[in-house]
Amino acid sequence: MKESNRKPELLIPASNLEVLKTAVVFGADAVYIGGEAFGLRAKAKNFSKEDMAEGIRFAHSHGKKVYVTANILAHNRDLDGARAYFRELKEIGPDALIISDPGMFTLARQEWPEVEIHISTQANNTNYMTYRFWWEQGAKRVVSARELSLAEIREIRENIPEEMEIESFVHGAMCISYSGRCLLSNYFTGRDANQGECTHPCRWKYAVMEESRPGEYLPVYENERGTFIFNSKDLCMIDYIPELVEAGIDSFKIEGRMKTALYVAAVARTYRKAIDDYFLSEEGYRQNRQWYQAEISKCTYRQFTTGFYFGKPSEEAQIYDNNTYVNEYIYLGIVGELREDGLARIEQRNKFCAGDSIEIMKPDGRNITAEVLRIVDEEGTEVESAPHPKQVLYLELTEQPEKYDILRVKAL
């Protein structure tokens, strides 16, 4: 590790207030979220004005930051609403806006001149002249296009102002379209990915048919029933923290603004430890790589790839035979308040029963096995199982959990 390298920010996504708090507790330096408009995850739960304000207060009380996405490619009809939205955000006070459209950038500057603006990967940021352009407009940070190699990012770092920040995705799902600008969803369903309504048709099953042979489906990779020809593996750079740091990346961004709290906790905790270990001792980081690999595999994923970081991906970066996630653990819930009688409150997410052996996932990296001794519902009735999602329950475990711990169970 070079002493001159800056310790990168760990930037984690959140779909709602519960997940934001989880991200903060499990190691995020900053969290990025979407409001109810103008972000590229319209199907995510997103944040109301009230939840956004509470989330920002929570993050700031822990010394963390919150960035709000407003990265749609705007049409004329969007502009008046965007202007009002930026005025509203100014009152709430996030730490930065994430924007891709020059018109949206201009509106944000007019309504909130002092706000820090980060340029989204959707803006197609592939060279240092683009970075310089945005710096001259007043942007603090630019998110690199996913199509860049580490060598290209290093060259960008060498050709932009030292104070300018580079943010790059290091983990999560990969879009099959250049810098995420996709037309498939709009074409097939009328839902525009560039307006936040992507239906993920890249994960659908396809077959190939030649124009002059209607109805005759040609095999692709010897799969006569079709293939998932657009289905990329997920990005994972947990084994390459030194290379990312040495390339000059200032913010390690995790994809997943529609993911569960379990996913966010697992990824945040693993990258937090990897980054901290590396800056403490490169030798310690390398010794702990097996733990990082084991823990990162406990969240849902589609097999892993290093994307474009070490050159153009080969066909090995695609999954041709299925579109399913690998899911080693089932999410049970987040521990809320602890009652005076020792019972822990959770809002249950998946079924479990009294007598089950579960795992308490703690922010400090420990995973503690515990048995469910008792389950009590809101009426105070003891129940044998918890089959209903989002039911509020109180648990007695053989090991005492703490607020914000995650409860999970290994999938069969």
Q: What are phi and psi of 65, to 5 degrees?
A: -115, 160
Same domain, 170 and 214: no
Answer yes or no: are the C-beta atoms of 125 and 142 closer than 8 Å: yes
| Same domain membership, residue 159 and residue 82 | yes
> For residues 188 and 183, what is the distance between their CA atoms, to the nearest angstrom?
9
Residue type, 163: E
Q: Are 127 and 259 in a shared domain?
A: yes
Top mean pLDDT of 120-124, 297-301, 386-390 is at: 120-124
DSSP 121: G
Length of the chain: 412
411 or 50: which leads in pLDDT: 50
Check residue 303 and give its pLDDT. 77
pLDDT > 70: percent of the chain: 80
Q: Is residue 259 part of a domain?
A: yes
Matching residue, tokens 């999560």: 172
* Residue carrying the six token digits 């995850």: 41
Last residue of a domain, one of 309, 337, 353: 309
How confident is residue 17, by pLDDT bands cut at 50, 70 and 90?
very high
Q: Are residues 196 and 293 in the same domain?
A: no
pLDDT score recorded for residue 317: 47
For Cα atoms 372, 378, 382, give the angle at the middle one, nearest 5 degrees: 45
Q: pLDDT at residue 381 above 90?
A: yes
Per-residue pLDDT averaged across 217-234, rounded? Answer: 56
Task: For residues 119 and 135, give the distance between their C-alpha atoms in angstroms, rounded to a whole number.
Answer: 10
DSSP 8-class letter at 44: S
**CB–CB of 39/78 below 8 Å?**
no
Supply the Cα-derived Rg of the chain in whole angstroms. 22
Q: What is the CATH number of the domain that holds 368?
A: 2.40.30.10
Of residues 195, 173, 179, 68, the one with CA closest to residue 127: 179
CB atoms within 10 A of CB 8: 25
| pLDDT(176) > 90 | no
Check pLDDT > 80 for residue 247: yes
Read off the pTM.
Answer: 0.85
Domain annotation covers residue 403: yes
Per-chain mean pLDDT for the chain: 87
- Is the pLDDT score of 308 beyond 80? yes
pLDDT band at 67 (very low <50, low <70, confident <90, very high): very high
For range 386-398, the mean pLDDT: 91
Residue 381: inside a domain: yes
* DSSP letters spanning 304-330: EE-TTTTSS--GGGB--S--PPB--EE
Tell me how crowded residue 312 is: count the other CB atoms within 10 A of its CB: 9
40-54, 153-167, 207-221: the lowest-pLDDT one: 207-221
Q: Which residue has the higher pLDDT, 412 or 329?
A: 329
Least confident of 124-128, 203-207, 238-242: 203-207
Q: In total, how many domains does the chain have?
A: 3
> What pLDDT was estimated at residue 213?
74
Residues 190 and 296 in one domain: no
Does residue 321 carry a pLDDT above 60?
Answer: no
In a domain, 317, yes or no: no
Neighbour tally for 279: CB within 10 Å: 17
Q: Is the confidence at residue 225, as pLDDT, over 50? A: no
Residue where a domain stops, chosen among 253, 281, 309: 309
Average pLDDT over residues 297-302: 73
Choose one of 248, 279, 309: the last residue of a domain.
309
SS3 of residue 382 by DSSP: strand
Does residue 254 sit in the same domain as residue 352? Answer: no
236 and 109 share a domain?
A: yes
Average pLDDT value for residue range 272-276? 98
Which of 64-73, 321-330, 386-395 ranks highest by mean pLDDT?
A: 64-73
Q: Compare 161 and 209 and report the one with higher pLDDT.
A: 161
What average pLDDT does this structure show over 49-78?
Answer: 95
Q: Looking at the domain assignment, is residue 280 inside a domain?
A: yes
Could you list the residue range(s) of the whole structural domain that residue 205 is in? Answer: 183-228
Minimum mean pLDDT among 174-178, 270-274, 276-280: which range? 174-178
Distance CA 22, CA 269 (A): 10
Same domain, 272 and 147: yes
Verify that 355 and 383 share a domain, yes or no. Answer: yes
**Spatial distance between the Cα atoms of 48 and 37, rounded to a whole number of angstroms:** 10
DSSP letters spanning 148-188 = --HHHHHHHHHTS-TTSEEEEEEEE---SSGGG---HHHHH
Higher pLDDT residue, 11 or 45?
11
| pLDDT bucket at 3, cuts 50 / 70 / 90 | very low
Whether residues 144 and 191 share a domain: the answer is no
**How many angstroms separate the CA atoms of 34 and 120, rounded?**
13
Q: Is residue 353 part of a domain?
A: yes
| Residue 315 within any structural domain of the chain | no
Among the ranges 34-43, 320-329, 356-365, which has the highest mean pLDDT value?
356-365
Split at pLDDT 50, 70, 90, the class of 161 is very high
Residue 356 pLDDT > 80, yes or no?
yes
Residue 392 falls inside a structural domain: yes
String of b and e for 356-393 (b: at least 16 CB within 10 Å)?
eebbbbbbeeeeeebebeebbeeeeeeeeebeeeebeb
What pLDDT sits at residue 325? 55
Tokens of 222: 């010897």
Q: How confident is the model at residue 184 (pLDDT cuts 50, 70, 90)?
A: low
**39 or 333, which is more confident:** 333
Flag whether pLDDT at 322 surpasses 90: no
- Does the structure show a pLDDT above 50 at 226? no
CATH code of the domain containing 129: 3.20.20.70
Q: Is the domain of 54 the same as that of 147? A: yes
378 φ/ψ angles, rounded to the nearest 5 degrees = -65, -25
Same domain assignment for residues 64 and 148: yes
State how far the Cα of 309 lies from the Cα of 217, in Å rounded to an integer. 35
Q: Which two tokens stand for residue 156?
A: 């960008």
